[in-house]
Every structure is written in structure tokens, then in C-alpha cells.
Amino acid sequence: MKILTLGASWVHGAGSSDPETKSWPAQIAKKYGIEVVNLAQVGSSNQRAARIGIEELCRNPDYDCVIFLLGPASRTEVLNNGKWHQIWPGRENISTNSSLDKIYTEMWMPWNDLQNTIMLSFYFMHSLKAMGIPLYMEGCTFNVSQYKKELSWITDYNNDYDFNKIGMPLSQLNIGIKDLDRKLKSLKAIHLQNLKIQPYYLLESTNFLKLPDVQKKYGYSYESFNGHPNDFGYAALADYFADKIDLN
């Protein structure tokens, strides 16, 4: 069996003693005796993860499964002089921020993040469906709880032009009423399609690691994590995702 894993630092294995051997993809490979190709990168945007995944699958389609974990939705990427540049708008006083980060920060807002995530997920899900490759997709560090308000605009809209009822700040949105009505209807339909194909695509994997029984079983304290799991936390995630793709 051959698996492709995609995502950002939590898939790469940041925080472990050795990402090459202690990331959860590496631990799945060793424990279950399968081949795992991990193309995750620290700081990766979801756009990069999806692009790298499609590139790999088109070159080498002989994968039995793909696991794609969504990371922070504010990150994106742009071609700059022929090279893809990862952008993380909204961060203040970060020495690595480039002029492109600052430009995108001026246009950044959570509403954009959520729309992009829903659309990107739809494109990726259907690309793999067309290729006949099984996919498991989960929110991981997407942190859907940060977008609870924006998601409610989509799920609670009743096609009645009553945007005040769902709390949309129309003065902050550069869009006409008819276009907004169409957008909300479309996003709701696309989100529901996503849920049919990948019911957990916005689920946060971090919630599993917070469970007291899981912490006790694998011998770690979630509170001790410094932004990322340790080796034992990744061991828990290895079994968690193995169960999701029916390796157990």
C-alpha cells in the first residue's frame, strides 16, 4: 500500500525529535508496514499542498490513498518571477514578512479565507475523484472555530436577501446585493457537496489530541505542546489516521 500525505507543519512533523522518523506519516509507515510519501512543508499554504499533491499524482498516479490535512486558511501562494512564494498575511512584526505579505495583508479578511477553503476543497476532492484515488481530508489546524461567524452566514442564509438577520457587515463588503445572494447560495451548495464527499473536511484533528483518555494512553500532556505535538502526540495521530483510512 502506498499513501501520499499533504499539509503543513503538523503533517511534516514539526515539534517532533526527528520529522523523518517521528512525524505521524513516518510512524504510520513503520507501524503498519506501508509506503508513505510525505510532501508536507512547514509553513505551507493549503494552495501549495493541493498544487503539490496534484503535480505528484499526475506524475505518479499509483497511490492507494491520499491524506490531506488543511492548515491555517489565511496562508496562500503566488507566482513571483516564476517561483511560487508562500504568503501569510495578517501576521504583525514578523521579520520574515515580505512586501508581498504586506500587500496581501491589506486585502486579507476571514471571509476570504473561508470562501477560498471551501472552493479549494471542492476542486481537490473532485480532482481526486476523477482520478479514482481515495481521499481522506480533515481540517487539522484550519481552526474552523475561528470562522464560526463567517460559516454561519453561509449555512444560515435563507435565500431571502435578509443579510442583516445573519449578521453580515454589508458596509465592509465590496459586493452588490444580487451578487451576494448568488454567492451565498453557491457557497452553501458547494459546502454541502463537500460534506457529502468528505464529512470531516473542516474537522479539527487537534480536538482528538485534547481528549484525556488519548493523552493518558499515549503518555503526553496536550498543554505541554509548543504549537505542535511531540513524538507521543504524533504517535496518537498515526493511529488516528490509520483508523480513518481503515488500516486498523
What pLDDT digit, counting tens, does each position of 147-174 carry?
999 999 999 999 999 999 999 998 888 8
Q: Which residues pair with 76 in a beta bridge?
A: 87
Which among 173, 141, 145, 160 has a CA at the least distance from the CA of 46? 141
pLDDT of residue 33: 96
Domain of 220, CATH number, reads 3.40.50.1110
pLDDT of residue 172: 85
pLDDT of residue 204: 87
Q: pTM (2 decimals)? A: 0.93
Residues in the chain where the model's pLDDT stays below 70: 90-98, 100-101, 103, 107
The domain in which residue 86 lies consists of: 2-244
Domain count, the chain: 1
- φ and ψ of 22, to 5 deg: -115, -5
